[in-house]
């Protein structure tokens, strides 16, 4: 018996806004939408595909009444695939992200950022081919 990691749920105040932000960051699309909930992903899951192999989970943004108050215990890491880490940070700032200090200290190989609702995430080293 086994399970699959199929969804990562993010509580938020504005599911539409966060879904749009993360779609732009990850090149995902909206795959489901209902009152107070938006699901995005790189693929549209079917039971058969999920049972056949482990695939990337979808992100589900659910409206909750309370705002974020403390540092996340779980966060996403993203790796640029077609540009430098610095270029990706600039792009994400333009999308509404912010650089944040969570005590990471100087000299790290990653950049800690926050999405428009303050959820921390990290931009890791680039995976773009060297020229």
pLDDT tens for each residue of 65-112: 998 888 888 999 999 999 999 999 999 999 999 999 888 887 788 999
Distance (Å, rounded) from C-alpha 108 to C-alpha 124?
10
Among 44, 29, 35, 43, CA closest to 15: 35
Backbone angles phi, psi at 93, to 5 degrees: -60, -40
Distance (Å, rounded) from C-alpha 80 to C-alpha 25?
10
Q: How much is the pTM?
A: 0.90
């Amino acid at each position: 018996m086994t399970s699959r990691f199929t969804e990562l749920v993010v509580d938020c105040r504005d599911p539409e806004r966060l879904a749009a932000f993360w779609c732009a960051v990850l090149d995902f699309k909206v795959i489901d939408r209902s009152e107070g909930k938006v699901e995005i992903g790189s693929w549209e899951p079917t039971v058969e595909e999920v049972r056949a192999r482990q695939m990337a989970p979808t992100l589900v943004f659910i409206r909750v009444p309370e705002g974020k108050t403390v540092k996340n215990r779980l966060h996403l890491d993203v790796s640029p695939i077609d540009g430098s880490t610095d270029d990706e940070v600039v792009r994400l700032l333009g999308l509404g992200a912010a650089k944040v200090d969570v005590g990471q200290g100087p000299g790290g190989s990653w950049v800690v950022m926050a999405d428009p609702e303050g959820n921390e995430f990290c931009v890791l080293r680039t995976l773009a081919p060297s020229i």
